[in-house]
């Protein structure tokens, strides 16, 4: 019995590495070019948004020539400035989208994200965050490090294990 459970867990972990993320994660805008590094190490540069293939979980997205906007669940977006890079994963059990900043040439720069169109989130390279959509809300959780959220109710510094829930505007 233990062997069967172990084999199922291993299959889920390896299968989740090659699952396409396009349904939940989409590159919505680029101003110049982006570089995508897949989990198998293949690096491709794209200057046209229509030429970007389906994303694979475990990919690194690097804004090489300008800014890029990445949409998550259509309720959150991450803006990458020039030379910023993120790693995108999906938790196999909770289905949360995990994002962490990859340290690059631009030191001490923070990643900016928007939740439900109104809450601004910032986090650095020592932080891992997750996004989970529970309609009509988007839940932003800090898994490691800390992040700052500027929402309608004020400004918060979230530490590991804490979360912020942003409700979508249903009248749009």
**For position 17, what pLDDT does the model report?**
45
Residue 77, beta-bridge partner list: 71, 114
pLDDT in tens, 127-148: 999 999 998 899 999 999 999 9
On the question of pLDDT at 18 being above 50, the answer is: no
Query: How confident is residue 119, by pLDDT bands cut at 50, 70 and 90?
Result: very high
Query: How confident is residue 107, by pLDDT bands cut at 50, 70 and 90?
Result: low
User: Following CA atoms 99, 108, 76, 19 in sequence, which dihedral angle do they give, to the nearest 10 degrees?
Assistant: -20
pLDDT in tens, 95-105: 899 999 998 66
pLDDT in tens, 28-39: 999 999 999 999
Q: Which of 143, 144, 134 is nearest to 165 (CA)?
A: 134
Q: pTM, whole model, 2 decimals?
A: 0.81
């Amino acid at each position: 019995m233990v062997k069967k459970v172990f084999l199922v867990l291993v299959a889920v972990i390896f299968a989740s590495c090659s699952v396409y993320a396009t349904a939940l994660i989409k590159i919505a805008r680029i101003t110049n070019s982006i570089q995508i590094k897949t989990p198998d190490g293949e690096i491709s540069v794209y200057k046209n948004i229509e030429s970007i293939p389906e994303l694979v979980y475990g990919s690194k997205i690097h804004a090489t020539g300008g800014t890029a906007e990445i949409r998550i669940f259509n309720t959150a977006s991450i803006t990458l400035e020039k030379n910023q890079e993120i790693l995108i994963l999906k938790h196999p059990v909770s289905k949360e989208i995990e994002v962490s900043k990859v340290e690059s040439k631009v030191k001490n720069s923070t990643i900016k994200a928007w939740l439900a169109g109104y809450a601004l989130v910032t986090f650095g390279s020592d932080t891992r965050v997750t996004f989970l959509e529970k309609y009509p809300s988007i839940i932003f959780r800090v898994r490691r490090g800390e992040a700052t959220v500027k929402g309608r109710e004020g400004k918060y510094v979230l530490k590991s294990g804490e979360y912020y829930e942003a409700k979508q505007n249903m009248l749009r």
